[in-house]
Amino acid sequence: MSPTEAKNRIEALTAELKQHNYNYYVLAMPTITDMDFDFKLKELAELEKQFPEFADGDSPTQKVGGDITKEFETVKHQWPMLSLGNTYNEQELIDFDERVRKAIGDDFEYVCELKFDGLSMSLTYQNGKLERAVTRGDGVQGDDVTTNVRTIQSIPKKLHPGDYPDHFEIRGEVFMHRKAFEKLNNERIEIGEQPYANPRNFASGTIKMQDSAEVAKRPLDSFQYFLYTDKQLFKTHWESLNAVKSWGFHVCEHTQLCRHIDEVLAFIAVWDKKRFDLSYDIDGIVLKVNSLEQQQELGFTAKSPRWAISYKFKAQSVETILQSVSYQVGRTGSVTPVANLKPVLLAGTTVKRASLHNANEILRLDLHEGDSVYVEKGGEIIPKITGVNVAKRQSDAKPIDYITHCPECGTELVRKEGEANHYCPNDEGCPPQIMGKMQHFIGRKAMNIDGLGDETIVTLYEKGFIKHISDIYELHTHADELKQMDRFGERSITNMLEGIEQSKKMPFEKVLFGMGIRYVGETVAKKLVAYFKNIDALMKASVEELNAVEEIGPRIAESLVEYWADPQHIEQIEKLRAQGLQMVAEEKEVVLASESLSGKTFIISGVFEKYSRDELKDMIEQNGGKILSSISPKLNYLVAGDNMGPAKLEKANKLNIPIISDEELLKMIASV
């Protein structure tokens, strides 16, 4: 290939792949298969290697490394997003109050608000409709994350009728409730994903995701706390908060008007204690001068307003002795180090242990045996070690060396490139993994076996009745022995055996999820079953073929292929199959709601206010319509929501394809 040819080909491939990335990640409407995408990407990578001088600095090849990430569009803020001055003690707050008093006299009020621990978001509304959502970024410009923010229920896409201006900006905090955080984080741990450290990180990780359908599955919430308009509409911040509430925005009810700094200090004292009763994390309070005119008088420094300040709660901290480090092995073999501490009182509870996360954390802290450590309790339930009092270290103290072998089974631990955690690879022979695996298998979301619980699994394992999942289905051959055991009554044995027998009817997707393959969560199991239909086809699929399935990335694909490569796993699967478990997808009879769309083809693109794309897709199929994967002359209708990609629109227009709204689609369904 001549250099000119190479240059042309590189440019063409780069442009094409960028468009595909956009279709996939922004529109969630891929127009080619992942496999074709990968082929083209490979061709591009090879050409770039041969002719590096023609490679685009922003080439799609530079963004693949497991998962492709597309940068969000950068948007400049109309009003810069400044930070707030921070204070950490009452005196600093009193000093702030005095500065304000000097500037504007004694006649003013404060609004006290909670300081939500999430990420700030700027929302722009045009004629009552959400137009744009932008992250703070560096304060001057941020990322356009509108598509993701549209999935947040408490952010109105359309306002209640009201006297709001045509154009305004409103700012607030996006966050995740602690309960949702714990639930979702546990689900991540369950399938071997890295957990997030706190709800804030989970929320900001979610907002930066490429796939807004994934974002929609993670419940985020939001409180608004600043209104920006071109023309001043209100006299005070307090009035503006009440107004935006009536327009449909979520404003935190724990907001208080204070006439004097003493009232502010009292507000702080209350929330310093009550914050643990909230369902979300706050890390302090924010104080704002109420009158907008006085705000203007006070003005800004380069970094922050002079009329507002934050007070940060002190994380409660104590010093104690590190007695030892122990290592827990989870169901997926993931090893977690735990610090055992000399018991100490902290924030009203006795603390004996602290999480150390992984080997990097031990290195970061440079932990030594017998170290005197600082332990902190923030919003999190489990305290953490924040540092070491090195002055107290004995001169001969040895550094804590991370273990090399599994504390439960003695197998050498492995650590995959790019991962923080160590794993014990002996998944069929390591006791906590075996028990954890069986507990996962019988769990509510998997086989949901009646009459068999986590503790019974432990007892049955310890007594030597079950070592593998398939042994559960042989328990009936031990019925008499089981009945002899003092912990079991005859009734409970019968119930358990019946529950086990019943579970053989559970659909294949539950069986697959129950196997506990790394990264194969409930949704992934469903997708795999829908695509491959039976275990044999699934086991035969190569990494490339798996990768080509919607929502199955290279990490999951590799995990599956690795799983089938272990003869012990195959033996288990064969046993389960022989025992009568479902290894084939259920044939679902499609009962059509109507024939109103029969013979018609559709593509859904963009974001809709009332329905998810999946819901619209179901509606179309249930009424006899067909979904196409790319725009072609065969397409009858393009159902378009907001934020549809310009390329798609252009193509549809070129082919004269009618573009309809979700409402028009509903009318078509109802009209016949």
In the complex with ligand AMP, the residue whose CB is nearer, 204 or 492, is 204
In this structure, the number of other CB atoms found within 10 A of the CB of residue 324 comes to 11
Angle, helix 454-462 to helix 431-442, in steps of 10 degrees:
140
What distance in Å separates the CA atoms of residue 246 and residue 162, rounded to the nearest whole number?
A: 8
Minimum Å distance from CB 133 to ligand AMP? 14
Nearer to Zn ion, 68 or 430 (CB): 430
- Smallest distance from the beta carbon of 337 to Zn ion, in angstroms? 15
Asked if residue 427 lies in contact with residue 192, where contact means CB atoms within 8 angstroms, the answer is no
Question: Which of Zn ion, ligand AMP, none is residue 408 near (CB under 5 to 8 Å by kind)?
Answer: Zn ion
The number of beta carbons lying within 10 Å of the beta carbon of residue 591 is 6
The answer to whether 310 contacts ligand AMP (rule: CB under 6 A) is yes
| Residue range at the interface with ligand AMP (CB under 6 A); choices 79-87, 146-154, 353-361, 660-668 | 79-87
Query: How many Cβ atoms from other residues are within 10 Å of residue 392's Cβ?
Result: 13
The option from Zn ion, ligand AMP, none interacting with 310 (CB < 5 to 8 A, set by class) reads ligand AMP
User: Of 205-234, which residues contact ligand AMP (CB under 6 A)?
Assistant: 225
CA 247 – CA 166 distance, rounded (Å): 13
Per CB under 6 A, 86 contacts ligand AMP: yes
Min dist CB 125 to ligand AMP, Å, is 19
Binding positions for Zn ion, rule: CB under 5 A = 406, 408-409, 411, 424, 426, 430
Residue 48 binds what, of ligand AMP, Zn ion, none (CB under 5 to 8 Å, by partner type)?
Answer: none
CB count within 10 Å of CB 565 equals: 9
State in Å, rounded, how far the first CA of the chain is from the last one: 58
Which part of the chain contacts ligand AMP (CB under 6 A), choosing from 81-89, 95-103, 475-483, 517-525? 81-89
Nearer to ligand AMP, 72 or 307 (CB): 307
Q: Which of 225, 241, 255 is nearest to 118 (CA)?
A: 225
Cα gap 459→626, rounded to integer Å? 52
d(CA 502, CA 508): 14
**Amino acid letter, 608:** F
- Interaction between residue 442 and ligand AMP (CB under 6 A): no
Closest CB 335 distance from Zn ion, rounded Å: 9
3-class SS string, 354-378: EECCCHHHHHHHCCECCCEEEEEEC
Question: Interacting stretch for ligand AMP, rule CB under 6 A, among 112-120, 292-300, 379-387, 447-455?
Answer: 112-120
Task: Output 173 or 545, the one with its CB closest to ligand AMP.
Answer: 173
Q: Cβ of residue 398: shortest distance to Zn ion, in angstroms?
A: 25
Residue 470 binds: one of Zn ion, ligand AMP, none (C-beta under 5 to 8 A by kind): none
320, amino acid identity: T
Closest residue by Cα to residue 40 from 14, 65, 64, 62 = 14
Catalytic residue numbers?
115
Residue partners of 646: CB distance under 8 A and separation at least 6: none
In the list Zn ion, ligand AMP, none, the entry touching 430 (Cβ below 5 to 8 angstroms by class) is Zn ion
Task: Restricting to residues 630-659, name those near ligand AMP by CB under 6 A.
Answer: none
Binding site for ligand AMP (CB under 6 A): 83-84, 86, 113, 115-116, 120, 136, 173, 225, 286, 310
